[in-house]
Amino acid sequence: MAFTIAVAGKGGCGKTSLASLITRYLKNNGMVPILAVDADANANLGESLGLAVPHTVGELLDEFQGEKINIPPGMTKEAYLDFKLNSILVESPGLDLLTMGRGEGPECYCYPNLIIRKFADELSDNYAYTVMDNEAGMEHLSRRTTQNVDALLLVSNHTVKGARTIARIQELVTSLKLVARKQLAVINMVPDKLNPLVSEELDRLGIKPVAIIPEDEELHRYDLELKPLLELPDTSKAVRAVDDLMGKVLEKVKAPSP
């Protein structure tokens, strides 16, 4: 079973960049194979990792719900769905990517969330680490897309609202009795040092961040130029901060054998 790291937080807090830099750390340190899961309906983890995503789970489920498929004789619908899910897994050396995406229809996405969770759980037996980039807000938690994780990173941008979102996610994890062996608060995209108002709000909420990720012009340039964040140099301020963070994420955890 893979060591699972899930990233959650409000929209615009830099979850995808953080998930990409976590993946970079694992890959560069030989902690492979890695399964990256883009559980955000607005999927862009593939772009950050430099992996093309021709098909998503949402598109595949649209085909099934729309009865646009011809199931081969002798194969059940469930078996064919499992076959098709495996076919949309994007593979690369040491790193594979599964993308949820969003379908075209008006249907509820509870079912796609259930499918991707079940499929990712089955896949995880083949990987040393799973990194899950979740959608903005808390919907993925209430639908239980994210559960039974080893490290849940609660990410806030440099705002009071972001800090309050972390507190709400903590409350939701408790109320839903989700299994998160570690919950680690991370403040992302900090210009120089924490603004006193943000610090006061974190203190009021009893939140002690384990990492402060600085704003990084180099990371911003890579995003603008659509360059994979896996290729960021070791001198990047964000890379150095995430490398330090990973020491705390994996602390007292025996790394699984590749």
Angstrom distances, CA of residue 65 to CA of 49, 55, 109, 208: 30, 16, 12, 45
pLDDT value at residue 191: 95
pLDDT value at residue 142: 47
Angstrom distances, CA of residue 72 to CA of 45, 76, 80, 163: 33, 8, 8, 51
Task: Give 4's contacts (C-beta < 8 A, 6+ positions apart).
Answer: 124, 129, 130, 132, 148, 149, 150, 151
Which CATH number, 3.60.40.10, 2.20.25.90, 3.40.50.620, 3.40.50.300, labels domain 3-249?
A: 3.40.50.300
Q: What is the pTM of this model?
A: 0.88
Q: For the chain, give the percent of residues with pLDDT over 90.
A: 54
User: How does pLDDT run across 70-124, given as a tens digit for each residue?
Assistant: 778 888 777 877 788 888 999 999 999 999 876 555 555 565 556 666 777 788 8
Q: Are 144 and 178 in contact (CB under 8 A)?
A: yes
Residue type, 46: G
Distance CA(172)–CA(180), nearest Å, equals 12
CB atoms under 10 Å from CB of 189, counted, come to 23
pLDDT value at residue 252: 66
Closest CA to 51 of 29, 35, 62, 63: 35
pLDDT value at residue 96: 96
Name the phi and psi angles at 90, rounded to 5.
-85, 120
pLDDT value at residue 63: 75
pLDDT value at residue 141: 54
Walk along the chain (258 residues) in steps of 10 and give the mean pLDDT of each run: 87 93 98 92 90 88 68 79 86 94 59 65 86 70 60 95 93 83 95 95 97 97 96 97 96 58
pLDDT value at residue 229: 98
- HEC states along the chain? CCEEEEEEECCCCCHHHHHHHHHHHHHHCCCCCEEEEEECCCCCHHHHHCCCCCCCHHHHHHHHHCCCCCCCCCCCHHHHHHHHHHHCCEEECCEEEEECCCCCCCCCCHHHHHHHHHHHHHHHHHCCEEEEEECCECHHHHCCCCCCEEEEEEEECCCHHHHHHHHHHHHHHHHHCCCEEEEEEEEEEECCCCCHHHHHHHHHHCCCCCEEEECCHHHHHHHHCCCCHHHCCCCCHHHHHHHHHHHHHCCCCCCCCC
Distance CA(183)–CA(47), nearest Å, equals 27
Q: Are 135 and 40 in contact (CB under 8 A)?
A: yes
Distance CA(135)–CA(143), nearest Å, equals 11
With vertex at residue 205, the alpha carbon angle to CA 203 and CA 211, rounded to the nearest 5 degrees, is 65
Residue type, 47: E
